[in-house]
C-alpha cells in the first residue's frame, strides 16, 4: 500500500483522474436495476461556463454519481444547442471585422461560416464541463443541428402543421430592429429607464359641450402616426359622453373613434389612451375587439415608412423628437412629465425592442396545454421545490399561441414550400423544387428559421433515437429528473412536456429540480455587462473542482436566490478570492489529512468487521449509520444543500475532531487486538464516509479510496470509487444505537465546554481543571458511567455531579442544554485582572460599534457608498454586536 503524499494537489490529481475515468469508460451508460436517465440542459454552442452552469452541472453530476453507485441504470446525455440568434450575432461580428456582411456572401456561404464557428468554438463549454469532473457521456454528444436531430425537428413541424397546430398569421411580436428578427416575450430583458410622459392634444371632429380637443398621455409619441383609435375606461363616467365621437389625428389628418375598453386604467394620465394596434400588444387586442385598422408605421429597422412626409425615413428616436417638436409648434403639446419606466430590450444585442405587427408562424397551444397542465396537477411531473408547481400552472393558464419563426439564417429552416405558379403550399419532410400540384418549377422554401426553443423542446426524446429508432428510448424515457433554472420553466420545461406528450404519449421526465439563482456578492444579478460575473474556471484553478462543487451545493437552501462571496479585481474583473470556496478547500484538505493519518497507522492491518468495543466506537458507528441514511434520503429527495452541509458536519466534527482523536490512544498504546479492531473501525468509517462524500467531491475521495485497503463494507474490488457500491442504509442499520449516542453526546457537551474555558482564558489545552456539573439525577448517572472517559479526554481533575451542585469558588459557568457546567479556574487565572481586561475590550468594542452605527445612519454616506462598502459596514456592526454580547457574558461570569 503506497503511502499518501503529505499534501493534496488538485491541479494534477483532478486532470489525471478525469483521463483515467474516461479511458476506463466509466462515463458511459451503465446497466442496473431502476433507471436514472438525465439530459443536460443544452448550453449554447458559443457559450462558456458561468456560475449557473456550474451549479446546474454540479447538481446533475452529484445525482448521477449517487445513482451509479446505487447500482441503477444511469445515462447522462450531453449536447449543445445551436443558439440561433447568439451564433448568428457572433458570426456577423466576425464577418464585419473582416469587412464582409452576410448579405454580401449570401445564405449558403454564411451557413458555412456558422459551421466553421461551431467547429472552432463549440467545444469550449464542453471541455469546461469535462474539467469540472462531470461524469457525462462525452462519447455520445448531441447537437440540435445534427442531421438526425434536424430530421426530428422537421417531423415535429410537419406533423403539427398537418394537424392544424401550426399556422401563419399577423400578430404583434417583439421585434429587434438590430438583429431584424422576432424574439419571445420570455427572452426579452426589461431595463429601467428614465423617460417622459408626453401629453398631446387631439382635436375633436366636432366640439362637445364647448370642448374642442382631448389630451392623451403617452410614453411613445412617435407611434401616434399609426393611431387608429382613442380608448377610455368603461368606469370613467365623465368621458362617457365622448364615446362614439371622433378625433382628427394631428399630422396625419385621420379620423379615429373614441371608444371604451377594459384595458384602460382611468387613473393613468388623463384617462384618454391613444391606440396603435400595430405597435402595442394591448392596443392590438383592443383593435381586434373594436375592428380598428392596423397600421404599421415602421419598417424592419424601426425607421418610419414612406407616406409620412418629412417624418419618413427617420428612426424611432429622430421621429420622437421631430413629432414632439411639431406638436409644440402647433400648440398641441400640453405638457411633459418625467417618468421612470421599464423598457424591453433584446437579450443579445441590447437594442430596445419594438412591438411590431408582422406575419409569423405560430403554434396553437390550446389543444396541447390541457394535458400538459393535468400531468403536473396529477403528480406525473413533480417540481422541487414544490412552490414552482404554481408558477408552472399559472403560466399554462395564461399561455398564448407561441411565435416560432425567426428571421435568421442559422437554424432549422421552416420546411414549408410554396409554388409561385398555382399557389400550392405544404410542409414537407424532404426538400422539393417541383410543385406536386401543377408540376411547375417555381417552388421556393420559406425563408425563416424556427425558434431555438422549438428544437430544444424535443431534447429528451430526439437525443434518444426518435423518430427512426424509438427502441433506444426503452428503459430511458421518461427521463428521471430535469435540473434547470426557474427562468426557463415557461420557455423550455412547459414546451418539453407538451411536445413529449404529443409525440411519445408520455411525460419527458418525472421530476423537475429548480436550482438556486446565483447572485453577485452585493445581491445583484451576475452579468457580463456589469462585470460582476465569477468565472468557474478561475475558481477551479485557484481552489480545485472539489472545493467549488462542494461550496455550490452548500449554498442551496429553501430560499431560491443565493449570494456568491467572491471578490473581483475592479479593473480586470478577475477573481481575487472567494472565502467560502477557500473554506471548502480547507474541508478537502481536512479529508486528505485525516485519511492520511489513518493510512499511516495501518501497520499489521487485516480486513475484518467493525465492532463497538468502546462507548466512542458505539457512538461513531451509530452516527455513521445515521449519516448514510440521511444522505441517501436527501439525495433521493433532491435536498442537495442539506446533504452537503450534513456530510461536512459529520466528517469534520464527528470523525476528525472526536473519533480519530479518541482512537489515537488505542492506535499508539493499545495491545495488538485493540489496535487491529480500532484500525478496522477507522477504515470502515473512512470507507463509508468517502463513498457518501464522493458524489459532490469526486476527486479527493477517489484518490484517497485508491490508497485504502478493503474494509468490512466489501472486498474493495471496484476499479474506481465512482463504480463502487453505495453504503446501503439497511446494511448499516444494525449499528444505530440511540442510547450510546445520547450518553456520548452528554459527555461531549461537558468536554466541549471545558475545552472552551481553556480557549477563552488562554490556558494550555492539557491544563487539568476541576469540574462540577449540575444535572438531573438521570443525566448525572449517565455522566458518572463515563467518568473515566470524561476525565481522560477532557483533562478533568475532580468531577462532581448531581442535581444540587453549587457553583464552586473561582469557577466560571456554562449552560449547555440541561447541563450547568462549572469549570474551576483556581489560581490559573487572575479573575480580577481578567475582568478588568475584558472591561477594557468591552469599552473599546462599544465605541467602535457607536462609530459604525453613526456611519450607517448618515444619509450622505449611504447615498455615495457602493453596495459593497455598505455591506461591509453592516457585517462589521453585526460582528461587534456579537463580540459585545460575548464579553458581557464573560464579565458577568467572572463577577
Annotated binding-site members = 528
Q: In which residue are the cell numbers 453507485 written?
A: 69
Q: How far apart are CA 697 and CA 742, in angstroms?
A: 31
E strands of 718-864, at which residues? Answer: 769-774, 796-802, 811-816, 819-824
Q: How far apart are CA 624 and CA 684, in angstroms?
A: 10
Start-end of H helices in 385-433? 388-397
Cell numbers for 429, please give them. Answer: 419532410
Query: Of 133, 96, 76, whose CA–CA distance to 540 is shortest?
Result: 133
Question: What CA–CA distances, in Å, run from 79 to 27, 295, 363, 489, 866?
Answer: 15, 44, 25, 19, 41
Query: Of 387, 390, 385, 388, whose CA–CA distance to 641 is shortest?
Result: 385
Q: How far apart are CA 528 and CA 695, in angstroms?
A: 31
Question: What CA–CA distances, in Å, run from 185 to 174, 295, 454, 582?
Answer: 7, 22, 15, 40
Query: Of 501, 514, 487, whose CA–CA distance to 395 is shortest?
Result: 487
Q: How far apart are CA 118 and CA 125, in angstroms?
A: 12
The per-residue b/e assignment along 517-539, b for 16 or more CB within 10 angstroms, e otherwise, is bbbbbeeeebeeeeebbbbbbbb
Integer distance in angstroms from the first to the last C-alpha of the chain? 58
Please, which residues bridge with residue 189 across strands?
A: 345
Rg (CA), the chain: 35
Q: In which residue are the cell numbers 457518501 written?
A: 692
Q: How far apart are CA 486 and CA 55, in angstroms?
A: 13
| 662 φ/ψ angles, rounded to the nearest 5 degrees | -70, -25
Dihedral sign of CA atoms 761, 766, 768, 770 in order: positive
**DSSP at 677:** H
Cell numbers for 262, please give them. Answer: 377594459
Q: How far apart are CA 301 and CA 209, in angstroms?
A: 44
Question: What CA–CA distances, in Å, run from 6 to 12, 163, 270, 299, 687?
Answer: 14, 68, 77, 70, 20
Residues whose CB is less than 8 angstroms from the CB of residue 80 and which lie 6 or more positions away in sequence, other chains included: 42, 43, 44, 45, 122, 125, 126, 141, 142, 143, 144
Residue 425 and residue 417 in contact, taking contact as beta carbons nearer than 8 Å: yes
Please report, in range form, the residues annotated as the binding site for ATP: 528
Q: How far apart are CA 519 and CA 871, in angstroms?
A: 15
**DSSP at 346:** -
Coil vs helix vs strand at 383: strand
Amino acid at each position: 500500500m503506497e503511502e499518501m503524499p503529505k499534501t493534496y494537489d488538485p491541479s494534477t490529481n483532478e486532470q489525471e483522474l478525469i483521463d483515467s475515468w474516461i479511458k476506463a469508460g466509466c462515463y458511459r451508460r451503465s446497466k442496473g436495476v431502476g433507471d436514472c436517465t438525465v439530459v443536460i440542459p443544452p448550453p449554447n454552442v458559443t457559450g462558456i461556463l458561468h456560475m449557473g452552469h456550474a451549479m446546474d452541472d454540479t447538481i446533475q453530476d452529484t445525482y448521477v454519481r449517487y445513482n451509479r453507485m446505487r447500482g441503477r441504470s444511469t445515462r447522462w446525455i450531453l449536447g449543445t444547442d445551436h443558439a440561433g440568434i447568439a451564433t448568428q450575432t457572433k458570426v456577423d461580428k466576425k464577418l464585419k471585422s473582416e469587412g464582409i456582411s452576410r448579405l454580401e456572401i449570401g445564405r449558403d456561404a454564411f451557413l458555412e461560416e456558422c459551421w466553421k464557428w461551431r467547429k472552432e468554438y463549440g467545444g469550449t463549454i464542453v471541455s469546461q464541463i469535462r474539467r469540472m469532473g462531470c461524469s457525462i457521456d462525452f462519447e455520445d454528444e448531441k447537437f440540435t443541428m445534427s442531421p438526425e436531430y434536424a430530421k426530428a425537428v422537421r417531423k415535429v413541424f410537419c406533423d403539427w402543421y398537418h394537424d392544424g397546430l401550426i399556422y401563419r398569421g399577423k400578430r404583434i411580436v417583439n421585434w429587434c430592429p438590430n438583429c431584424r428578427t422576432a424574439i419571445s416575450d420570455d427572452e426579452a430583458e426589461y431595463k429601467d429607464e428614465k423617460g417622459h410622459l408626453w401629453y398631446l392634444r387631439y382635436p375633436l371632429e366636432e366640439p362637445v359641450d364647448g370642448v374642442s380637443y382631448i389630451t392623451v398621455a403617452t410614453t411613445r409619441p412617435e407611434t401616434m402616426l399609426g393611431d387608429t383609435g382613442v380608448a377610455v375606461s368603461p368606469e370613467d363616467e365623465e368621458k362617457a359622453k365622448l364615446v362614439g365621437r371622433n378625433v382628427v389625428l394631428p399630422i396625419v389628418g385621420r379620423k379615429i373613434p373614441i371608444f371604451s375598453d377594459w384595458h384602460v386604467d382611468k387613473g393613468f394620465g388623463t384617462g384618454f389612451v391613444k391606440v396603435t394596434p400595430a405597435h402595442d400588444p394591448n392596443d392590438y387586442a383592443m383593435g381586434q375587439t373594436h375592428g380598428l385598422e392596423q397600421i404599421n408605421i415602421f419598417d424592419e429597422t424601426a425607421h418610419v415608412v414612406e407616406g409620412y412626409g418629412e417624418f419618413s425615413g427617420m428612426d424611432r428616436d429622430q421621429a420622437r423628437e421631430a413629432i414632439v417638436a411639431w406638436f409644440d409648434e402647433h400648440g398641441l403639446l400640453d405638457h411633459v412629465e418625467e417618468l421612470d419606466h421599464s423598457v424591453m430590450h433584446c437579450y443579445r444585442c441590447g437594442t430596445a425592442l419594438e412591438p411590431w405587427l408582422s406575419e409569423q408562424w405560430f403554434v396553437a397551444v390550446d389543444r396541447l396545454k390541457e394535458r400538459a397542465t393535468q400531468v403536473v396537477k396529477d403528480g406525473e411531473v413533480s417540481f422541487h421545490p414544490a412552490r414552482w408547481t404554481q408558477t408552472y400552472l399559472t403560466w399554462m393558464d395564461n399561455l398564448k399561441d407561441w411565435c416560432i419563426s425567426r428571421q435568421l439564417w442559422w437554424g432549422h429552416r421552416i420546411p414549408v414550400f410554396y409554388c409561385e405558379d398555382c399557389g400550392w403550399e405544404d410542409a414537407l419532410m424532404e426538400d422539393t423544387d417541383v410543385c406536386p400540384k401543377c408540376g411547375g418549377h417555381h417552388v421556393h422554401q420559406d425563408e425563416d428559421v424556427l425558434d431555438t426553443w422549438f428544437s430544444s423542446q424535443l431534447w429528451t426524446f430526439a437525443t434518444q433515437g426518435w423518430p427512426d429508432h424509438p427502441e433506444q428510448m426503452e428503459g430511458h424515457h421518461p427521463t428521471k429528473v430535469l435540473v434547470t433554472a426557474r427562468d426557463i420553466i415557461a420557455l423550455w420545461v412547459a414546451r418539453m412536456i407538451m411536445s413529449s406528450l404529443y409525440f411519445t404519449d408520455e411525460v419527458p421526465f418525472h421530476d423537475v429540480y429548480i436550482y438556486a439563482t446565483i447572485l453577485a456578492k452585493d445581491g445583484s444579478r451576475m452579468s457580463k455587462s456589469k462585470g460582476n460575473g465569477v468565472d468557474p474556471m478561475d475558481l477551479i484553478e485557484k481552489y480545485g473542482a472539489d472545493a467549488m462543487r462542494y461550496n455550490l451545493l452548500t449554498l442551496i437552501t429553501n430560499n431560491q436566490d443565493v449570494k456568491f462571496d467572491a471578490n473581483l479585481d475592479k479593473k480586470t474583473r478577475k477573481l481575487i478570492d472567494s472565502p467560502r470556496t477557500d473554506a471548502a478547500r480547507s474541508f478537502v484538505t481536512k479529508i486528505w489529512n485525516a485519511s492520511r493519518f489513518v493510512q499511516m497507522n495501518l501497520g499489521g492491518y487485516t480486513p475484518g468487521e467493525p465492532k463497538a468495543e468502546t462507548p466512542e466506537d458505539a457512538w461513531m458507528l451509530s452516527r455513521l449509520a445515521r449519516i448514510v441514511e440521511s444522505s441517501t434520503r436527501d439525495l433521493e429527495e433532491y435536498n442537495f444543500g442539506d446533504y452537503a452541509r450534513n456530510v461536512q458536519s459529520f466528517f469534520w466534527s464527528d470523525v476528525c475532531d472526536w473519533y480519530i482523536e479518541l482512537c489515537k490512544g488505542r492506535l499508539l498504546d493499545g495491545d495488538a487486538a485493540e489496535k487491529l479492531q480500532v484500525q478496522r473501525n477507522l477504515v470502515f468509517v473512512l470507507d463509508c464516509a468517502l463513498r457518501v462524500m464522493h458524489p459532490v467531491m469526486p476527486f479527493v475521495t477517489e484518490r484517497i479510496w485508491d490508497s485504502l485497503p478493503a474494509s468490512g463494507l466489501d472486498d474493495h474490488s471496484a476499479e474506481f470509487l465512482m463504480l463502487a457500491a453505495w453504503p446501503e442504509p439497511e446494511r448499516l442499520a444494525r449499528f444505530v444505537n440511540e442510547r450510546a449516542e445520547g450518553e456520548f453526546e452528554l459527555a461531549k457537551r461537558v468536554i466541549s465546554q471545558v475545552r472552551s474555558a481553556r480557549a477563552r482564558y488562554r490556558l494550555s489545552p492539557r491544563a487539568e481543571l476541576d469540574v462540577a456539573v449540575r444535572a438531573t439525577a438521570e443525566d448525572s448517572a449517565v455522566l458518572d458511567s463515563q467518568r473515566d472517559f470524561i476525565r481522560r479526554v477532557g483533562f478533568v481533575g475532580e468531577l462532581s455531579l448531581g442535581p444540587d451542585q453549587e457553583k464552586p469558588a473561582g469557577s466560571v459557568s456554562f449552560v449547555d442544554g440541561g447541563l450547568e457546567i462549572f469549570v474551576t479556574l483556581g489560581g490559573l487565572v487572575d479573575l480580577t485582572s481578567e475582568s478588568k481586561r475584558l472591561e477594557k475590550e468591552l469599552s473599546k468594542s462599544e465605541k467602535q460599534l457607536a462609530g459604525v452605527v453613526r456611519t450607517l445612519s448618515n444619509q450622505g454616506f449611504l447615498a455615495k457608498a457602493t453596495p459593497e462598502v455598505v455591506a461591509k459596514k453592516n457585517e462589521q456592526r453585526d460582528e461587534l454586536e456579537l463580540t459585545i454580547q460575548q464579553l458581557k457574558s464573560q464579565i458577568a461570569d467572572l463577577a
